[in-house]
Structure 1
Amino acid sequence: MNVDLPLQLLGGLSPQLFMKRHWQKKPLLVRQAIPGFKPLLDRSALFEMAADEDVQSRMVIQEPEQVPGWRFKHGPFERRAFPALKRPGWTLLVQGVDLHHNAVHDLMNQFRFVPDARLDDLMISYASDGGGVGPHTDSYDVFLLQAHGRRRWRIGRQKDTSLQPDVPLKILANFVPEQEFVLEAGDMLYLPPRYAHDGIAEGECMTYSIGFRSPNRGELAREVLQRLAEDAEDLVGESLYRDPQQPAVSRSSEIPPQMLEFAHDALRGALQDPDALGRALGEYMTEPKASVWFDPGNESVDGTSESIRLDRRTKMMFDARHIFINGESFRAGGRDATLMRQLADERALSLKDVGRASAEARALLQTWCEAGWLHGV
Structure 2
Amino acid sequence: MSTLDPACFDPASFLRDYWQKKPLLIRNPWKEWRNPLEPDELAGLGCEPGIESRLISGAADALALEHGPLPLDRFDALGTAPWTLLVQAVDHHVPAVADLLLQFRFIPNWRIDDVMVSFATTGGGVGAHFDQYDVFLVQGLGRRRWRVGGMCDETSPLLPHDSLRLLADFEPVADYVLEPGDILYVPPGIAHEGTSLGNDCMTYSIGFRAPSVGELVDGWTEHLLDEAGDDDRYTDPDLTVQDNPGAIAPEALDRLHRMITERLGDKQAFARWFGEFTTAPKPSEIDWTPDDPFDVERVEMELASGAEIVRNSASHFAFIEEEEDAVTLFVDGTAYQCSAEAAEVARILSNCQYLGVNATQRISSDVVALLVILLNAGAVAIVEY
Q: What TM-score bracket applies, with the shorter chain setting the length?
A: 0.7 to 0.9
Q: Per the alignment, in what secondary structure is the counterpart of residue 141 of structure 2?
A: strand
Residues matched between the structures, number: 364
Please state how far the C-alpha of 1:224 moved relative to its aligned partner. Answer: 2.6
2:240 equivalent among 242, 246, 249: 246
Please state how far the C-alpha of 1:61 moved relative to its aligned partner. Answer: 0.6
Please state how far the C-alpha of 1:176 moved relative to its aligned partner. Answer: 0.4
Amino acid at match of 2:22: K
Amino acid at match of 1:196: A
CA contact (8 A) 1:294 1:373 kept: yes
Amino acid at match of 2:333: G
Amino acid at match of 1:340: A
Please state how far the C-alpha of 1:16 moved relative to its aligned partner. Answer: 1.2
Query: Is 1:216 paired with 2:217?
Result: no
Query: Is 1:369 paired with 2:365?
Result: no
Instruction: Name 2:13's counterpart in structure 1.
Output: 17
Q: Per the alignment, in what secondary structure is the counterpart of residue 342 of structure 2?
A: helix
Instruction: Name 2:254's counterpart in structure 1.
Output: 261
Instruction: Name 2:164's counterpart in structure 1.
Output: 169
CA contact (8 A) 1:301 1:308 kept: no
Counterpart Cα distance in 1 of 2:146 and 2:277? 35
% identical aligned pairs: 36
Query: Structure 1 residues 273, 174: CA separation in 2 closer, same or farther (over 3 Å shift)?
Result: closer
- Cα-to-partner distance string for 1:267-290 (whole Å, 9 max, x where unaligned): 333345432221111111122222
Structure 2 unmatched ranges of 5 or more: 323-327
CA contact (8 A) 2:299 2:372 kept: yes
Counterpart Cα distance in 1 of 2:88 and 2:169? 28
Query: Is 1:42 paired with 2:35?
Result: no
Please state how far the C-alpha of 1:152 moved relative to its aligned partner. Answer: 0.8
Greater shift in the superposed pair: 224-233 or 264-273: 224-233
Aligned ranges for residues 327-366 of structure 1 at < 5 Å?
327-352=333-358, 357-366=363-372
Instruction: Name 1:324's counterpart in structure 2.
Output: 330
Please state how far the C-alpha of 1:115 moved relative to its aligned partner. Answer: 0.7
Aligned ranges for residues 180-191 of structure 1 at < 5 Å?
180-191=175-186
Please state how far the C-alpha of 1:316 moved relative to its aligned partner. Answer: 1.8
Query: Structure 1 residues 210, 320: CA separation in 2 closer, same or farther (over 3 Å shift)?
Result: same
Instruction: Name 1:4's counterpart in structure 2.
Output: none
CA contact (8 A) 1:135 1:172 kept: yes
Counterpart Cα distance in 1 of 2:359 and 2:244? 71
Amino acid at match of 1:188: I
Query: Is 1:77 paired with 2:78?
Result: no
Greater shift in the superposed pair: 287-296 or 348-357: 348-357
Instruction: Name 1:295's counterpart in structure 2.
Output: 289
Amino acid at match of 1:102: P
Amino acid at match of 2:212: N
Query: Structure 1 residues 151, 195: CA separation in 2 closer, same or farther (over 3 Å shift)?
Result: same
RMSD of aligned C-alpha atoms?
2.8
Counterpart Cα distance in 2 of 1:18 and 1:242? 58
Greater shift in the superposed pair: 142-151 or 343-352: 343-352
Query: Structure 1 residues 36, 131: CA separation in 2 closer, same or farther (over 3 Å shift)?
Result: farther
- Cα-to-partner distance string for 1:283-318 (whole Å, 9 max, x where unaligned): 111222223123244233223361122334432210
Counterpart Cα distance in 2 of 1:140 and 1:57? 19
Counterpart Cα distance in 1 of 2:226 and 2:341? 30
Instruction: Name 1:125's counterpart in structure 2.
Output: 118
Please state how far the C-alpha of 1:179 moved relative to its aligned partner. Answer: 0.7
Counterpart Cα distance in 1 of 2:259 and 2:125? 52
Query: Structure 1 residues 84, 151: CA separation in 2 closer, same or farther (over 3 Å shift)?
Result: farther
Counterpart Cα distance in 2 of 1:354 and 1:108? 33
Instruction: Name 1:199's counterpart in structure 2.
Output: 194
Query: Structure 1 residues 355, 79: CA separation in 2 closer, same or farther (over 3 Å shift)?
Result: farther
Instruction: Name 1:62's counterpart in structure 2.
Output: 58
Query: Structure 1 residues 168, 227: CA separation in 2 closer, same or farther (over 3 Å shift)?
Result: closer
CA contact (8 A) 1:292 1:313 kept: no
Query: Structure 1 residues 179, 313: CA separation in 2 closer, same or farther (over 3 Å shift)?
Result: closer
Amino acid at match of 2:317: M
Structure 1 unmatched ranges of 5 or more: 1-6
> TM-score under structure 1 normalisation?
0.87
